[in-house]
Structure 1
Amino acid sequence: MLLLETERLLLRPWRVSEAAVQHEMWTERDPRVPPHRRIGADGRPTVEDVARWIEDTAEPSTLGLPALELKGSGDVIGYCGLITGSQVPDDEPELAFELLRRAWGHGYATEAAWAVLGWARESGYERLWATVRAWNDASLRVLAKVGFTESGRVEPDAVHGDSLFLTREL
């Protein structure tokens, strides 16, 4: 079972009972986020849809998006982990993170990212990527704090904002 621990956080597999937390993140997303990553006009995904996704997802090994649990309270505030994407090499996954708005500004994303970087290094990865919209200043700050730099690669998107590709050698 995947378990990473920091001073204030546990990074661990999601529980079906936490579907409402993931759903809340969907509802809080910036309106500039592409529609397929927001709650649709049909109300989907629902909490029940998210619960099914959690139930159907295998426990991550070196890939996945573990839940971020606050040690003191047991509250789940987001996720941070590694994913593969069609736009980066399979052996160089992407760091991905998202927190509930009430958890912003406390350094949790940076703390979790450091833990995931260590996990990635121990798992044998040599380089990671991160893609982020150019307007997402908070995520860009987190990525800079943990050593990511812009690769020079940009995917233009006049509707939702350009995607910047950042990288970090491990």
Structure 2
Amino acid sequence: MFIRSERLFLRPGWPEDWQELLARIDDEEVARNLAQVPWPYTADDARWFASQPQHPRCPHFFVTLPTSSEPARIIGCVGLAQDGDAVELGYWFARDFWGRGYATEAARAVIGLARTLGHRKLMAGQFVDNPASGRVLRKVGFTPTGQQRQRFSLARGCAVDSIEHGLELAEPGNCDDPADMRVA
């Protein structure tokens, strides 16, 4: 499964992506904002993640910047994951690509796909000391649920307060039609 947005190309990972993945996520400031990423992040971690198969209802994507002159570079990752009974949106971007709207654009693309896959509600968590992630979530339609929970962060090695967000999705639509990427 592939997704093209205005500036980005979202694609599945391949085992040979492990070195580029390692180069992008090997930053403690990136890893500490994520629940499932260890620190330090090793070559074995990158090999494992790059070789993971896609889940048909909860895919994840490497985010790339397509260019005509060189191979597209991985700049981050976005995807859906099962978290108990909920489906959760998650993302990360290499620090060099923060503040450019890429997380917002990639999240919108995956939300459109989530609707197409028949998901009716998405959840997302934001560590309390990562307000930038909360701004991204609000830009794409998530609202804080009023709940905070402790999430274990592998990179930090401890539980961290997380602000929970939810997004109700409209009926399934066409993920290729920007006019049909609405939320409920």
TM range (shorter): 0.7 to 0.9
**Alignment pair present for 1:136 and 2:118:** no
User: What amino acid maps onto 1:22 in structure 2?
Assistant: L
Q: Residues 108-146 of structure 1: CA distance to partner in whole angstroms, max 9, x if unpaired? A: 100001100100011111110001101111111100100
Aligned to 1:80: 78
Q: Which structure 2 residue ranges, 5 or more long, are not aligned?
A: 152-157, 170-184
Separation in 2 of the partners of 1:79 and 1:167?
20
Cα offsets for 1:51-89 (capped at 9, x unmatched): 13322x113423132100111251110111101113xx2
Q: Whole-Å Cα distance in 2 between the matches of residues 53 and 94 of structure 1?
A: 18
Residue 47 (structure 2) aligned to one of 15, 37, 51:
51
The residue number in structure 2 matching 1:70 is 65
C-alpha distance in 2 between matches for 1:76 and 1:32: 19
- Equivalenced residue count is 159
Q: In the superposition, relative to structure 1, how do residues 60 and 127 fare at CA in structure 2: closer, same or farther (>3 Å)?
A: same
Q: Distance in 1 between matches of 2:35 and 2:112?
A: 33
Q: Return structure 1 stretches of 4+ with deviation > 4 angstroms.
A: 31-36
TM-score under structure 1 length normalisation: 0.82
Partner of 1:117: 111
Structure 2 CA distance for aligned equivalents of residues 127 and 98 of structure 1: 21
Distance change (3 Å), C-alpha of 1:155 and 1:146: same
- Residues 16 and 50 of structure 2 are in contact (CA less than 8 Å); yes or no, is this contact kept in structure 1? no
Q: Distance in 1 between matches of 2:95 and 2:62?
A: 15
Cα distance in structure 2, aligned partners of 1:97 and 1:54: 15
